[in-house]
Chains A and B, each alone.
Chain A
């Protein structure tokens, strides 16, 4: 299910300002990739990902999913949406059934698979997002906490078992363990089943930890793209585009400035700890720090 985006342009109609949300995007996403999309507010991230399953149609340019042009009037969008699962930025808007169980079952039920398999998938998806099916399942999705609602919406998409999973800020409002567990699970799904994952996130730590490749958007254009580490190595360019770097990367840069030779591309706590401890135990490292 490769995805190919060519010269994609899109403007929201009715806006007083005629600045387009997307101003010519070219992007290819291969099977099994884990791609991160970052960019400041209003840079076009959500607009872009809504083109990936035909929720929005290009004004100009093309979006090809598995060779199917989504702008084509005859394209089977239903089939595409079964393969490309999209979790919205405000997933609580995706909830509508009377109970959590019904809500999560809605998608797979439309796939014409046997009811017992649907049931199985629903239970598995709820457990994946850290909700107890017996406790939360019978409750109304609207009588839940914000983070619980978000988890239900995520479970609904996971239960569809899509080949491409598109997540628009999926972890906003999740507690730290929820964030880590759910994204960790998605990473495993990708390793085990080779699904493609596109993650839009403001959380630089998370993007750094999970993705192979990063696409940086600003004002509707791709301004920077490449392997995740290389992109985070360019902190000045990121800052110019209104983005930060993980606090660990900032720490590494600060230590380097003071003469401690920590690699510039460390992004996680473990990497930084490893690098600092190695330097510290090397005689020159200690001598320098105490000088």
Chain B
């Protein structure tokens, strides 16, 4: 298919028709290409979750249109296909698991789609392998760590053969190693399987791993670009309640003081190489 996988055209959303002054999304135009890894950042209440729910028809635009692989989400006949193509993972790992055995949990989605049992078995196996959870297939989900639960939730979506994975703060309740597990998983799925990823996060380091960062403020997309271009706008981000990652903040101070370092440095390694060139 040509064109973007997801296209939002002038999308406005009001939760309460009686309160036209409260606009959760305010004329959002956005495109997500197939195979892209997009991070969405923004202050609390800026509209990130509302946007995410529009991507798989959990919410419909009050005005404007959302198209996924050309399908209009307002078309009632398209809702199933849209939800199969765009899977969502939410914040709380404990609220996402439905079955008492990992394998059954992953099978739940394709079962609902009416997929053949033998095909389901193959897909479950494959999905668990993709998130590196095969050895846990017979475990009880409540005994897994938060990061492992989120990987099982991702496998449940993969088993439906989606085009796009949307994560709404899926790492925010995890400890650092759980966050790494989930982030590494989605990066790998994006690179190796070509899965499109939309990752909503308050951790700017995580946004640094994306191809493109989209910044929301009061229901609008106000800034977007590569992590390097976005994170060089430290002042502007701060005015919106955001910040740059600590390493980038440090690099900014050092660069301003005249040290030979890029103010847009994103990693510890980059800073170390700039300050202590190894040759």
Q: How far is the CA of A280 from the CA of B255 in the complex (A)?
A: 12
Q: Which residues of A contact B172 (CB under 8 A)?
A: 172-173
Question: CB < 8 Å: which of B16, B169, B259, B275 contacts A146?
Answer: B169
Q: Which residues of A contact B211 (CB under 8 A)?
A: none
Complex interface residues of chain A between 1 and 38 (CB less than 8 A to chain B): 16-17
Is the beta-carbon distance between A202 and B243 smaller than 8 angstroms?
no
Is the beta-carbon distance between A176 and B202 smaller than 8 angstroms?
yes
Complex interface residues of chain A between 118 and 153 (CB less than 8 A to chain B): 143-148, 151
Q: Which residues of A contact B275 (CB under 8 A)?
A: 255, 258, 260, 276, 289
B127-146 near A? 1/0 per residue, CB < 8 Å = 00000000000001001011
Segment from B59-67, B115-123, B246-254 that makes contact with A: B246-254
Is the beta-carbon distance between B43 and A280 smaller than 8 angstroms?
no
Q: Which residue of A lies closest to B145 (CB)?
A: A41
Q: Which residues of B contact A269 (CB under 8 A)?
A: 246, 249-250, 253
Segment from A104-112, A220-228, A238-246 that makes contact with B: A238-246
Segment from B75-83, B102-110, B174-182 that makes contact with A: B174-182
* Residues of B in contact, count (CB < 8 Å): 47
Q: How far is the CA of A173 from the CA of B90 in the complex (A)?
A: 12
Is the beta-carbon distance between B272 and A174 smaller than 8 angstroms?
no
Q: Does A186 sit within 8 A of B, measured CB to CB?
A: no
A243-271 near B? 1/0 per residue, CB < 8 Å = 11011101100110011100000000100
Q: How far is the CA of A258 from the CA of B46 in the complex (A)?
A: 43
CB distance from A275 to the nearest CB of B (A): 11
Q: Does A273 sit within 8 A of B, measured CB to CB?
A: yes
Q: Does A169 sit within 8 A of B, measured CB to CB?
A: yes
Is the beta-carbon distance between B254 and A202 smaller than 8 angstroms?
no
Using known A-B contacts A16-B140, A248-B250, determine if residue A175 contacts B176 with beta carbons closer than 8 Å. Answer: no
CB distance from A146 to the nearest CB of B (A): 6
Is the beta-carbon distance between B254 and A169 smaller than 8 angstroms?
no
CB distance from B172 to the nearest CB of A (A): 5
Is the beta-carbon distance between B177 and A242 smaller than 8 angstroms?
yes
Complex interface residues of chain B between 140 and 167 (CB less than 8 A to chain A): 140, 143, 145-147
Q: Which residue of B lies closest to A281 (CB)?
A: B257
Using known A-B contacts A41-B178, A42-B145, A243-B176, determine if residue A289 contacts B276 with beta carbons closer than 8 Å. Answer: yes
Q: Which residues of B contact A205 (CB under 8 A)?
A: 246
Q: Does A77 sit within 8 A of B, measured CB to CB?
A: no
B173-212 near A? 1/0 per residue, CB < 8 Å = 1111110000000000000000000000010110000000
Q: Does B10 sit within 8 A of A, measured CB to CB?
A: no
Q: On chain A, which size bracket covers the interface?
A: 35 or more
Is the beta-carbon distance between A273 and B250 smaller than 8 angstroms?
yes
Q: Which residues of A contact B143 (CB under 8 A)?
A: 16-17
CB distance from A164 to the nearest CB of B (A): 24
Q: How far is the CA of A175 from the CA of B173 in the complex (A)?
A: 13
Inter-chain contact count A-B, CB under 8 Å? Answer: 128
Question: CB < 8 Å: which of A172, A175, A179, A277 contacts B257?
Answer: A277
Is the beta-carbon distance between A40 and B278 smaller than 8 angstroms?
no
Question: CB < 8 Å: which of A175, A244, A246 contacts B43?
Answer: A175
Q: Which residues of B contact A250 (CB under 8 A)?
A: 268
Q: Which residues of B contact A277 (CB under 8 A)?
A: 254, 257, 259
Q: How far is the CA of A6 from the CA of B143 in the complex (A)?
A: 28
B256-271 near A? 1/0 per residue, CB < 8 Å = 0101000000001101
Is the beta-carbon distance between B177 and A172 smaller than 8 angstroms?
no
Complex interface residues of chain B between 198 and 241 (CB less than 8 A to chain A): 202, 204-205, 238, 241
Q: Which residues of A contact B169 (CB under 8 A)?
A: 146, 173
Is the beta-carbon distance between A204 and B176 smaller than 8 angstroms?
yes
Q: Does A74 sit within 8 A of B, measured CB to CB?
A: no
Q: Which residues of B contact A255 (CB under 8 A)?
A: 272, 275-276
Q: Does A193 sit within 8 A of B, measured CB to CB?
A: no
Q: How far is the CA of A272 from the CA of B271 in the complex (A)?
A: 12
Q: Does B45 sit within 8 A of A, measured CB to CB?
A: yes
Q: Does B49 sit within 8 A of A, measured CB to CB?
A: yes
Q: Does A177 sit within 8 A of B, measured CB to CB?
A: yes
Most buried by B among A175, A204, A248, A273: A175
Q: How far is the CA of A287 from the CA of B173 in the complex (A)?
A: 45
Q: Which residue of B lies closest to A169 (CB)?
A: B173
Is the beta-carbon distance between A90 and B92 smaller than 8 angstroms?
yes
Is the beta-carbon distance between B246 and A202 smaller than 8 angstroms?
no
Q: How far is the CA of A256 from the CA of B204 in the complex (A)?
A: 26
CB distance from A55 to the nearest CB of B (A): 18
Q: Which residues of B contact A (CB under 8 A)?
A: 15-16, 42-46, 49, 91-92, 140, 143, 145-147, 169, 172-178, 202, 204-205, 238, 241-243, 245-247, 249-250, 253-254, 257, 259, 268-269, 271-272, 275-278
Shortest 3 CB-CB distances between A and B: which pairs? A147-B44, A177-B241, A258-B276
